């Protein structure tokens, strides 16, 4: 299994003041029932195969500071790509090769930095919204192109 050391990643994109999750969850009773969250985490809209999934399929019920793989293994948030890779296997393969996603820095000598899946894709709602494009080039007749 790929170890975290293999991929130098930037820190995971956590909401300010949320992590570690155990700060709140440690003393709470575990409620495994699928329900609408009314008190906390109301900003999270699960839109990622939500009909067959719930929080505790990825977040571990006992150790909230960890993510949980199918086989029950607990992983750190910095290794979340292993969890994503369980379903998105071919994307994971490309990502490890440096093809899916973006690398920055130096492409030689191992100084390049990887981004986690979650840096670009919101894991709860991974579909991208459109963005505003940069302005088109001036046409040749445009006076900003002339003298």
Partner 1 sequence: MSLPLFSSCTKEEKEDFLQKHFKEMTPDEVKRVIAKLEERYLRKYGKKFQIATQDALPGTLWGYGLDLSRCIGCRKCVYACAKENNNSRRHPQLHWIRVIRLKKGSLINLENSEHYYDPPLVPEKEYLYLPVQCQHCEHPPCVKVCPVHATWKEPDGLVVVDYNWCIGCRYCIAACPYKGRVFNWADPTIPPEEVNTAVHYLGNRPRMKSSVDKCTYCIQRVRTGRYPACVEACPTGTRKFGNLLDPNSEIRYIIQNKRVFRLKEDLNTEPKFYYFFEA
Under the rule (CB under 8 A), what is the footprint of partner 1?
Answer: 94, 97-109, 111-112, 120, 128, 130-139, 144-147
8 A C-beta contact, residue 12 and residue 123: no
Nearer to partner 1, 54 or 107 (CB): 107
Q: How far is CA 97 from CA 7, 54, 92, 103, 112, in A?
A: 10, 30, 9, 11, 12
- Residues 6 or more apart whose Cβ sits within 8 Å of residue 11: 78
8 A C-beta contact, residue 30 and residue 61: yes
Nearer to partner 1, 27 or 135 (CB): 135
CB of 128 to partner 1, least distance (A): 8
Q: How many residues does the chain have?
A: 147
CB of 95 to partner 1, least distance (A): 9
CB of 96 to partner 1, least distance (A): 10
Nearer to partner 1, 20 or 98 (CB): 98
Nearer to partner 1, 35 or 144 (CB): 144
């Amino acid at each position: 299994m790929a170890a975290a050391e293999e991929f130098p990643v930037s820190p995971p994109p956590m909401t300010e003041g949320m992590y570690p999750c155990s700060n709140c969850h440690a003393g709470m009773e575990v409620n495994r029932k699928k329900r609408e969250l009314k008190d906390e985490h109301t900003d999270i809209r699960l839109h990622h195969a939500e009909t067959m999934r719930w929080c505790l399929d990825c977040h571990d019920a006992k150790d909230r500071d960890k993510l949980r793989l199918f086989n029950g293994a607990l992983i750190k948030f910095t290794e979340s790509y292993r969890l994503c890779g369980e379903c998105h296997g071919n994307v994971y393969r490309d990502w490890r090769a440096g093809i899916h996603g973006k690398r920055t820095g130096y492409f030689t000598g191992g100084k390049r930095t990887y981004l986690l899946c979650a840096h670009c894709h919101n894991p709860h709602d991974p579909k991208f919204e459109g963005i505003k494009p940069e302005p088109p080039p001036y046409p040749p007749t445009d006076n900003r192109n002339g003298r």
